[in-house]
Amino acid sequence: MTALVKPDFDQLLDQAKRVLPGGTFGNTAANFVIREGRGGRVWDEDGKEYVDFLLGSGPMLVGHCHPDVTAAVQAQVALGTTFFANNRQGILLAEAIVDAVACADKVRFVSSGTEADFYAMRLARAHRKRDKILKFEGGYHGMSDPALMSLAPKRPGNFPRPVPDSAGIPVSVRDDVVVAPFNDLEMVAGLIREKHDELAGVIVEPLQRIIPPAPGFLEGLRKLTRDHGIPLIFDEVVTGFRFAYGGAQEYYGVTPDICTLGKVIGGGFPLAAIAGRDDIMAHFDANAVGEDGFMKQIGTLSGNPVAATAGLATLEILRRPGAYKKIFATGRALMESLGEQLKRAGIPAQIMGVPPMFDVVFTAEPIRDYRGVLRGDADKMRKFNALLHKHGIMKGESKYYVSLAHTEDDVRHTKEAWAAAIDELKRS
């Protein structure tokens, strides 16, 4: 093993190619290496500065290196970094979640959103004593086998048959996943009526990636699942504490039976959670449900005190007066500007999402579900994102995350970058 002593950028990329598959962690392009972040900006190893709308894929809602979060974490690190046991900070964070989130009577911690969604689906199976999970085409629920069924199929199949989106998924997984189109309450109702005795649960992103729920969709889904005694799972790994302090269930006014949380609650550290009704969460407690109903869950870093400390500090910042008003105002100004610029340029586009989290889809047609997004001009989207990167904007392939730390100067820079990129896009 060789020591890494300030190699230049090209040497660092060569090192990555030698030790990482594809030269990357799997999240972003191999030739993009971040050095540091502060507030709403990041700098790469080549010294270039970006307005950051990736935000670590969402966790940094209050910005990078917030002094209050940093101070709290440094104080906890001096006391110990992990214990594989209950700790004060984890208990306090669980209490904060129960106080904030409508469906949360109890909380169980894990280390990633993938784990949280995987355990939530298993929890529904344990509770209902059924095997099948209904999910929505295009819905993202982590990297487990059932979650990767019809996540982003390039050639969507026929509902309700799922399509595997990764090598290595057993064929048998298809038999336990039912797939429906998002925002199609009539089809969902038919599937639930037909398969209700086989369904363990229904899992949904309240806002599916950047697609808002149609009026009445979440309410109808809530009624259908309640009428048939099927647990409804809201995947709030992304939306939790982002749309409102109580998450998407507060924002949309619909309460599920179980929810998953992540990103924001860890304040930039690996932490996620499953939260839900007392009688369902009891399956994590052998003393409450007996051996037959007990669902084992163990994680070396679950409830990690450093992550919980960062989460507590982040939530305290979000409780301050005006926090969400500022996030929404920043996001709304950005969404309006992007839409106006594209319209003036004569480029057909839909601005999708809500102010804390949005993006553009290059199509003239309204979008209600994954297939609507799939019909968008993906090549134009890739070109636009590449041009924005050149002009100092960092974002994911299909999402802008807005933070409390983004300033008026960040907004101005972004609008100018959009103007330059749109002009180049028109001429390409």
Closest CA to 177 of 108, 237, 249, 124: 124
Distances (CA, A) of 321 to 70, 245, 324: 21, 12, 8
Q: Which two tokens stand for residue 53?
A: 């709308």
Selected catalytic residue, list 50, 119, 140, 400: 140
Strands (E), 210-340: 232-236, 258-261, 272-276
Report the greatest alpha carbon distance in the chain: 67
Residue 229 CA to chain centroid, in angstroms?
27
**Cβ-Cβ contacts under 8 Å for 329 (sequence gap 6 or more):** 355
DSSP labels for 86-125? --HHHHHHHHHHHHH-TT-SEEEEESSHHHHHHHHHHHHH
Helices (H), 348-407: 370-374, 378-390
**Cβ-Cβ contacts under 8 Å for 126 (sequence gap 6 or more):** 283, 293, 295
Q: Check: CB of residue 132 under 8 Å from CB of residue 198.
A: yes
Cβ-in-10-Å burial (0-12, 13-18, 19+) of 272 comes to buried
Dihedrals phi, psi of 272, to nearest 5 degrees? -150, 175
Selected catalytic residue, list 52, 184, 235, 359: 235
Q: Is 370 a catalytic residue?
A: no
CA separation for the pair 27, 232 (Å, rounded): 29
Angle at 159 (CA atoms; ends 156, 162), nearest 5 degrees:
65
The strand pair at 49-52 and 41-44 is best described as: antiparallel
How many beta carbons lie within 10 A of that of residue 146, not counting itself? 21
Selected catalytic residue, list 106, 132, 135, 263: 263
CA separation for the pair 292, 335 (Å, rounded): 51
Q: Which one-letter DSSP state was computed for residue 36? A: E
Q: Is 235 a catalytic residue?
A: yes
Q: Is 324 a catalytic residue?
A: no
Catalytically annotated residues:
140, 235, 263
